[in-house]
Amino acid sequence: MTAVLDFDSLTTRAEDGAHRFEAAVDGMTCAACIGEIEQGLADIPGLGHARVNYTNRRLMLEWRDESFDLAQAFERLRRMGYTLHPFELAQSEREEIETARWLLRCLAIAGFAAMNIMLLSVGVWFGVDIEPSTRDLFHGVSALIALPAAAFAGQPFFRSAFAALRAGRLNMDVPISLGVLLALGMSVYETLAHAEHAYFDSATMLLTFLLLGRFLDHAMRRKTRAVAANLAALRAPLACKLSADGAETVVPLARIARGDIVLVRPGERIPVDGVVAAGESQLDESLITGETQRRSVAAGDLVYAGSMNYDGALTIRVEAANGATLLDDIERLLEKATNARSRYVRLADRVSRLYAPMVHLAAFSTALFWLWRGASLHDALITAICVLIITCPCALALAVPAVQVVSSGALFRAGVLLNSADAIERLAEADTIVFDKTGTLTAPEPRVANASEIDASVMDLAARLARASSHPLARAIAQERPKAAALEAHEEHGLGVCATVGGLEARLGSPRFCELEEEAAQVGALDADVSLVAFRHGDARALFQVRQTLRIDAAKAIAALKARGFAIEILSGDRVEAVEKIARALDVATWAGGLKPAEKVARLDALRGQGRKALMVGDGLNDAPALASAHVSMSPIDATQLTQAAADAVFLGERLAPVVTTLDVARKARALMRENLALSVLYNVVAVPLAMAGWLTPLIGAAAMSGSSILVTLNALRAGGGNPASLPSPLPQSGGGLGRGAAGEDLRDVEWPPLHLSPASREREQVSPFVQASGQSASVGAAE
């Protein structure tokens, strides 16, 4: 009995009344399938639109007309040779891993067979005095190797071609399969007929190159599928609901509604958007705001789903729950941007629909022509096989992936990891670079700006005290002495840590805790952009000036990018004042602060409307929609997991030089891709007419095909040449002031250890969210 897919369980209804259906699609083999599916469903009555995400192989249908019949769409896809099944992340990942292993096994077998058969073929090619019996032996051994190897290694193409033919359509795998099978069949015939030439080497070499291209494509695309898994990891699946009598009940999020009261204990992730009704605690909102410092919250403060609760229990009145939280909004923005990106089709994919029928027509016409001219059936088939082999898109298939692999290796050596199959091409097209501030232009953690001015013994003891606390400011001091051992210290909430050392009490914390308020007031009057941490041990006293600092080469990286002709902008969710100081320090005239994720996406959309192609460089969950919406994106390696999945590339280290290097390598790689595509086209323009004229044999065709592939591969190796872009040595990171690499994060209004930032409120009133001129309002501005 045939199982029936339950459409209703996969269909959701939005608040605006639109119906949405999502499911996984099996049977897609190339990007041309996207257009085939979308166009094949477009004429179904009542369907709003169909969208295929080739990256994760998912189909999304949306409609408002109640007359639309989902079963009709399902039947249409079945007739086209595609099958649908519910999308399940874990199952999909297992299938992708198995597919990658299967392709690798096929590639290994095809490569092994091709190398061994080539060794035998060399003896036939150059054996001037080779005996016929020896030649027949070599052909026989080649057949014993090639036939089982091709039967296994050719499965990715044979299965796809058979499914396409059964559905009454053609794809790129049909002529590939036909050429391989004809070459093998003719080779078997030639071997049995004791002929001079067989073409087992052509068939296995053909499979090897094609499988290499397919495996590289699959491996690159698979890296982009982690977004949904990382988003799911940020969600709390359950919530502790409080009833009117105070009873606690753990329920799924689907049963939480606005107005309910939920309890969040220390160490739990907040499951809803809401307002704190009771309790005090510190929240890690780095997944939402991108800020690494914890925020203290109390009754009346707004909190968001995805934040981690650290210190105290919180009672929260729900404002938005399952499907309506800020995290859900970010997920929808991310999904929308990712789906739009999947429609980016390269030149090789756009011509793929015409490739299959043109190759079949050329080969069939060649055979008919030579039969008409009086050639034997054997000679006509040999010529047709030569056309099929020589037109096989090995060079075209390797033209882009080969450059991608070599340039990816060059970028890896420079500390850059690619996360998207076509990232290099889109990086090369970028003309505008948009930076986030916190954690991108600035270092991810605050640093001690006056560390060089502190006595070494004082710094040693302060670092040991700091290791007894998890406070962000304490971590900054502890980083100055990475090998210092922690003391057995007592931490007083809201003040600092203390311990007895040498019979005297040592304290590290707020100026009030260490009785250094007057000294702190004098330093604070001179520099309002530092957080002061006091230290006292007997007569030894010190004030540590902790601040967020620019990355050590930020100014030089920005200058290098400007010199290359890039327009630079800063978009940040942080305070306007802090963003303005960073913009002035880096001489960036176009900037905006206090932006929500949707406002960043809106700015990127505006740039796109102006014909600009923006590279977004950012970290933090709030940057994920902007990273996905931008033409191309990069993220530092210390960004959240979601952002790394959403970004097209991530870079290592504390410098911005990898951004400059990446753009240089990408532009060089784009030029090499174009050269390879031109070489591939030139090869076909020259070789195809010669094959059709009967001047080439399948053996020569295979050699020409392999030669063209080798040529584009050798050309691709140039992408790894040269030295990565380098910047001058950075200035020492010491002292205060923006001119010495410090950034304006206002952390002064804090005690120890609670850290009260002033994160941009989502409700902040803004007068125009973005400007590119000086003398504007307090919430937006431009650097002088």
pLDDT tens for residues 593-603?
888 888 899 99
Question: How does residue 590 score in pLDDT terms, banded at 50, 70 and 90?
Answer: very high
Instruction: Taking residues 669-687, report their average pLDDT.
Output: 85
Query: Among residues 260, 436, 619, 623, which one is catalytic?
Result: 436
Instruction: Taking residues 439-446, report their average pLDDT.
Output: 81
Question: How does residue 387 score in pLDDT terms, banded at 50, 70 and 90?
Answer: confident
Top pLDDT among 35 and 747 is at: 35
The pLDDT value recorded for residue 210 is 76
Q: What is the DSSP string of 695-727?
A: ---HHHHHHHHHHHHHHHHHHHGGGG-SPPP--
The pLDDT value recorded for residue 24 is 76
Instruction: Taking residues 651-668, report their average pLDDT.
Output: 88
Top pLDDT among 733 and 542 is at: 542
Instruction: Taking residues 66-75, report their average pLDDT.
Output: 81
Ranking 60-74, 146-160, 574-588, 659-673 by mean pLDDT, the lowest is 60-74
Which of 159-173, 246-260, 335-349 shows the highest mean pLDDT?
246-260
The pLDDT value recorded for residue 104 is 92
The pLDDT value recorded for residue 341 is 40
Instruction: Determine what percent of the chain is predicted with pLDDT higher than 90.
Output: 18
The pLDDT value recorded for residue 781 is 36
Residue with tokens 């002495």: 481
> Count of CB atoms within 10 A of residue 501's CB?
15
Question: What are the E-state strand segments in 538-630?
Answer: 540-547, 567-571, 590-592, 614-617
Q: Can you list the alpha helix ranges (DSSP code H) found in 611-656?
A: 624-629, 641-646
Q: Whole-number mean pLDDT of the chain?
A: 76
Question: How does residue 736 score in pLDDT terms, banded at 50, 70 and 90?
Answer: very low
Tell me, what DSSP letter sits at residue 485? P
Top pLDDT among 168 and 292 is at: 168
The pLDDT value recorded for residue 753 is 30
CA–CA distances in Å: residue 602 to residues 606, 625, 648: 6, 10, 20
Top pLDDT among 442 and 394 is at: 442
Instruction: Determine what percent of the chain is predicted with pLDDT higher than 70.
Output: 74
- The residues, ordered by sequence, that sit 6+ positions from 140 with a Cβ below 8 Å of its Cβ are 191
Top pLDDT among 783 and 315 is at: 315
Question: How does residue 148 score in pLDDT terms, banded at 50, 70 and 90?
Answer: very high
Question: How does residue 750 score in pLDDT terms, banded at 50, 70 and 90?
Answer: very low
The pLDDT value recorded for residue 410 is 81
pLDDT above 50: residue 783: no
Instruction: Taking residues 422-447, report their average pLDDT.
Output: 86
Question: How does residue 766 score in pLDDT terms, banded at 50, 70 and 90?
Answer: very low
Question: How does residue 3 score in pLDDT terms, banded at 50, 70 and 90?
Answer: very low
pLDDT above 80: residue 438: no
The pLDDT value recorded for residue 160 is 83
> Residues 269, 273, 279, CA angle at the centre, nearest 5°?
65
pLDDT above 60: residue 741: no
529 has catalytic annotation: no
Question: How does residue 745 score in pLDDT terms, banded at 50, 70 and 90?
Answer: very low
pTM score of the predicted model: 0.55
The pLDDT value recorded for residue 552 is 85
Top pLDDT among 13 and 519 is at: 519
Instruction: Taking residues 586-607, report their average pLDDT.
Output: 90
Top pLDDT among 333 and 507 is at: 507
Ranking 89-98, 345-354, 460-469 by mean pLDDT, the lowest is 345-354
Query: Within 13 A of 488's CA, how many CA atoms are on the CB side?
Result: 1
Question: How does residue 770 score in pLDDT terms, banded at 50, 70 and 90?
Answer: very low
The pLDDT value recorded for residue 289 is 54
* Tens digits of residue pLDDT in 331-347: 654 555 444 443 333 45
pLDDT above 50: residue 239: yes
Q: Which two tokens stand for residue 338?
A: 């990712």
Nearest to 628 by CA among 408, 428, 344: 344
* Tens digits of residue pLDDT in 53-67: 665 677 878 888 878
The pLDDT value recorded for residue 591 is 93
The pLDDT value recorded for residue 778 is 30
pLDDT above 50: residue 485: yes
* Tens digits of residue pLDDT in 79-114: 877 877 666 555 666 777 888 899 999 999 999 999
Question: How does residue 742 score in pLDDT terms, banded at 50, 70 and 90?
Answer: very low
Instruction: Taking residues 320-333, report their average pLDDT.
Output: 68
> Count of CB atoms within 10 A of residue 186's CB?
22
Instruction: Taking residues 616-621, report their average pLDDT.
Output: 78
The pLDDT value recorded for residue 726 is 44
Instruction: Taking residues 753-780, report their average pLDDT.
Output: 32
Residue with tokens 């949904």: 228
- Give the C-alpha separation, 688 to 681, whole Å: 10
